[in-house]
Structure 1
Amino acid sequence: MGQLFSDTSKDEDSGDLETSFIAYFKKIKTENKIIPQETIRLIELHLKKGNIQGAHSVISDALKNVDKVPINIAVTGESGAGKSSFINALRGVGHEEEDAAEVGVTETTKERTPYKHPKIKNMTLWDLPGIGTTKFPPKDYLEKVEFQEYDLFIIVSATRFTKHELELAKAIRFMKKNYYLVRTKVDIDLDNEKKSKPRTFDREKILQKIKSYYVNTFNQNNMEAPEIFLISSSHLSDYDFPVLMDTLIKDLPVQKRHNFMLSLPNITEAAIDRKQKSMQQNIWLEAFKGGILATVPVVGIIRDDVEKLKEKLNHYRDLFGVDDESLEFMAKASQVPVERLKEIIKSPYLLDTKNEETLGEMFLKCLEKFASANGGLLATGLYFRKTFYMHLLFLDTVTDDAKVLLRETLKN
């Protein structure tokens, strides 16, 4: 095990560091990277020149930017279109919770209202007043709601696309902002159609008819139709919600993708896997940043490490929705006893050990597992802090827990 760590100098290791860094990011698709390509190239350049301190500084700044850069998403639409329900669904918040967006059959939004994501503090969803409820033309409306602050606009519709919304879409495009058309309540449309025409009911034909209506409306007004997403805020895994999330991730600036991905509800196993891959990058960069400045020998886990590990484990549980508060919410929503949910997950008990020696053994097993899985990761001279492997173990475990909980709640 000890042979995985080298005693060579940092100057001698700089080539291996560069090779390891390039090899790692070469495996990641461009649309999944959490730091910009130009930042990656700058880090590679510093490593190539043996400028370890310079590489460390660039990685530190990039990670700070990922954590702090604001994400602002504007949601607008006609009264009763389901804006508030959509915002609550994106935030993973129930309608009756204290900080939920107010849901009602009449227009409840008179001014733009910010709703912070409960777990991703730099992400804000803005509930904008429907343009049909204001006295402003589209251009003045956009200026009044501070259009320049938003990364993108989501126009929510539930029935027909009005002249006001068409003009708003045209104004948003003119101002070179991305916008997306979300058609809500499609589950209600399907239910109504099934009740009224049970023998001729055709789910796919009805959904295509809804989409065609919007496409034709844009074409008739000499406008290029945007991509249209059919969703139900009550059943997020159905219809186009997962596709919408993938589209937003792709269109957001690179440095905003990571936290946006972490903000998404666990509606499918694919969504959970995507969160995991993004978090793996974050962990890897943190470890690389810490590791290139100092060799950390394989030693026992000390008490300070235990407390830091507990904090990190709780952080991952919170991000992946397997913390105690999330379990209570999940139990209530799915009508599954919370005791049952706690029985089928493992992450809360990962650090339930009786002595430090046991934790040290756990660390060594993690080290052996990940060094083997990555083809001798440390043999390159790339020094990772010992807790890196524990963080990966935590991440794998909370990912598995999130999937187990998803399957359990879907059964009900």
Structure 2
Amino acid sequence: MDTQVDCELMEEIKEALQNNDLLLVAETIQKCLDKLNNTPLNIAITGGSGSGKSTFVNVLRGIDNRDKERAAPTGVVETTSEVTSYPHPNYPNVTLWDLPGIGTTTFPADKYLEHVGFDKFDFFIIISVDRFRENDVKLAQEIQKMGKKFYFVRSKIDNNLRDEERSQRKFNEETTLAQIRENCIKGLQKLGIETPQVFLLSSFDLHLYDFRLLEETLERELPALKRNVLLLALPSVSLEIINKKKEALQANIKYYAILSAVVGGVPVPGISSAVDIGMIAGVVTQYKVVFGLDIPSLERLAQTTRVPLDDLRAVMISPLAAKKITPDLVMKELQHRDMSVMAAEEVSRCIPILGIPAAMGLSFISTYRVLSTFLDMLADDAERVFKKALGLNTSV
């Protein structure tokens, strides 16, 4: 998470703690967590007919094109005639918008933005299957005038590489990619875009080519909270993204630990442990979704990669990954680990005057330690699943 945002959230919590009002502290922490988890993100995807924009919408949501109920319709002809929203299946605050190609509507560039509802979008991705055209540039220039970001994506690069390999005696993938990128950039510069950002992608091989560069660019240019939301919602298509997700989730553990400490200040034996176990179960469930280890996400991954679901599940070592997360499962896992801190927390409540502050401190430590351990376990499983899905060596 962005350091400045983290400091701002912690300052809010600090002010509430200084008021010595535990209810206010709990409300402040919950507000901070809502900011982290529910900030809206609206991504506009546009391009000409057959450019692959609907497939790109689907793959960012982890949805197979063949999913008739939830997938954006795809085809070699224009399938998008109106602005269509596609919420992320796991993050309803993240919405991808499939926009009609500007060349397929009767609206000029400036009227087009008004037609599609420009204001609600955080950034635009303009997709082309070959070269970018005048209409794409006009749209980009209008977006720029209104102070928002746009990115050019050259899609279906895997097809281009196959064609080039068949036609060249001495084929070099890196050289071919550099030539395609340079041609796109020069073409856009001739049409009036001074420093175009062009990313070469294949929606069916998102772990290859420029997707990591696109992710890093968005991470750099989005506001901090929206950057965090995007990262957690992205499919885990690289070990780098999995590691970044882990770092983002690790940075948030302190908020749950502080909330645990607040509950630890309630002078009722047993209540802190019960609340902590329930909260931990909820947070770990979120971890599974973020890493794509929940059953619906694994089923979608199995469908898109053609790797059997049982094979993906077989490489997961953590019992947390293999089962539905419940308070009973969390308690069972904790019984196999060091429970001394949690036990000491309950004992400290019986100590006059200093007992409650001590219990709060121990509650913070135990929750932080448990969530960090569970996060490590699930992140390792996410790496194993990723490698299995790609047919790589699954040792971590």
TM-score bin (small chain): 0.7 to 0.9
Query: Quick one: which of 328, 334, 342 aligns to 1:359?
Result: 334
Residue 105 of structure 1 is matched in structure 2 by 76
In structure 2, stretches of 5+ residues that fail to align are 344-357
Residue 204 of structure 1 is matched in structure 2 by 174
Asked if 2 retains the 8 angstrom alpha-carbon contact of 1:266 and 1:272, the reply is: yes
1:395 matched to 2:375 = yes
Distance in 1 (CA, whole Å) between partners of 2:382 and 2:110 is 44
Asked if 1 retains the 8 angstrom alpha-carbon contact of 2:264 and 2:359, the reply is: no
Asked if 2 retains the 8 angstrom alpha-carbon contact of 1:111 and 1:128, the reply is: yes
1:60-75 paired onto structure 2 within 5 Å: 60-75=30-45
CA 1:365 to 1:119, structure 2 compared with 1: closer, same or farther past 3 Å? farther
User: 1:176 corresponds to which letter in structure 2?
Assistant: G
User: 2:261 corresponds to which letter in structure 1?
Assistant: G
1:193 matched to 2:164 = yes
Query: Quick one: which of 258, 279, 287 aligns to 1:316?
Result: 287
Distance in 2 (CA, whole Å) between partners of 1:355 and 1:67 is 22
Asked if 2 retains the 8 angstrom alpha-carbon contact of 1:303 and 1:356, the reply is: no
Asked if 2 retains the 8 angstrom alpha-carbon contact of 1:76 and 1:83, the reply is: yes
1:183-332 paired onto structure 2 within 5 Å: 183-197=154-168, 199-291=169-261, 294-295=264-265, 306=277, 309-332=280-303
Distance in 1 (CA, whole Å) between partners of 2:41 and 2:336 is 41
Residue 351 of structure 2 is matched in structure 1 by none
Residue 411 of structure 1 is matched in structure 2 by 391
**TM-score with structure 2 length normalisation?**
0.82
1:133 matched to 2:104 = yes
| Per-residue deviation, 1:256 | 1.6
Query: Quick one: which of 344, 348, 366 aligns to 2:315?
Result: 344
CA 1:403 to 1:382, structure 2 compared with 1: closer, same or farther past 3 Å? same
Residue 22 of structure 1 is matched in structure 2 by none
More displaced 10-residue stretch of structure 1: 199-208 or 396-405: 199-208
User: 1:406 corresponds to which letter in structure 2?
Assistant: F
Asked if 2 retains the 8 angstrom alpha-carbon contact of 1:128 and 1:145, the reply is: yes
Q: Count how many residue pairs are aligned between Structure 1 and Structure 2.
A: 370
Asked if 1 retains the 8 angstrom alpha-carbon contact of 2:44 and 2:99, the reply is: yes
Asked if 2 retains the 8 angstrom alpha-carbon contact of 1:334 and 1:409, the reply is: yes
CA 1:367 to 1:330, structure 2 compared with 1: closer, same or farther past 3 Å? farther
RMSD: 3.3
> Deviations for 1:283-324, whole angstroms, at most 9, x for unmatched residues?
222222442574489979966765554444333222211122
CA 1:33 to 1:288, structure 2 compared with 1: closer, same or farther past 3 Å? farther
Structure with the bigger RCO (C-alpha within 8 Å, sep 6+) is 1
> Deviations for 1:186-224, whole angstroms, at most 9, x for unmatched residues?
111110000011x22122222122122222123223331
CA 1:339 to 1:44, structure 2 compared with 1: closer, same or farther past 3 Å? closer
Query: Quick one: which of 86, 95, 98 aligns to 2:65?
Result: 95
Distance in 2 (CA, whole Å) between partners of 1:367 and 1:66 is 27
Distance in 1 (CA, whole Å) between partners of 2:342 and 2:150 is 46
| Per-residue deviation, 1:119 | 0.7
Distance in 1 (CA, whole Å) between partners of 2:335 and 2:258 is 22
> Deviations for 1:267-296, whole angstroms, at most 9, x for unmatched residues?
111110111111112222222244257448
Asked if 1 retains the 8 angstrom alpha-carbon contact of 2:126 and 2:150, the reply is: yes
User: 1:132 corresponds to which letter in structure 2?
Assistant: G
Residue 86 of structure 1 is matched in structure 2 by 56
Distance in 2 (CA, whole Å) between partners of 1:185 and 1:99 is 22
In structure 1, stretches of 5+ residues that fail to align are 1-31, 369-377
User: 1:319 corresponds to which letter in structure 2?
Assistant: V
User: 1:364 corresponds to which letter in structure 2?
Assistant: M
User: 2:101 corresponds to which letter in structure 1?
Assistant: G
CA 1:145 to 1:411, structure 2 compared with 1: closer, same or farther past 3 Å? same
Residue 21 of structure 1 is matched in structure 2 by none
CA 1:44 to 1:331, structure 2 compared with 1: closer, same or farther past 3 Å? closer
CA 1:342 to 1:332, structure 2 compared with 1: closer, same or farther past 3 Å? same
Asked if 1 retains the 8 angstrom alpha-carbon contact of 2:246 and 2:375, the reply is: yes
Asked if 2 retains the 8 angstrom alpha-carbon contact of 1:77 and 1:131, the reply is: yes
Sequence identity of aligned pairs in percent?
A: 35
| Per-residue deviation, 1:96 | 0.8
Distance in 2 (CA, whole Å) between partners of 1:294 and 1:323 is 31
Distance in 2 (CA, whole Å) between partners of 1:409 and 1:223 is 39
Q: 3-state DSSP class of the match of 1:330?
A: helix
User: 1:348 corresponds to which letter in structure 2?
Assistant: A
User: 1:228 corresponds to which letter in structure 2?
Assistant: V
CA 1:367 to 1:33, structure 2 compared with 1: closer, same or farther past 3 Å? farther
CA 1:322 to 1:407, structure 2 compared with 1: closer, same or farther past 3 Å? same
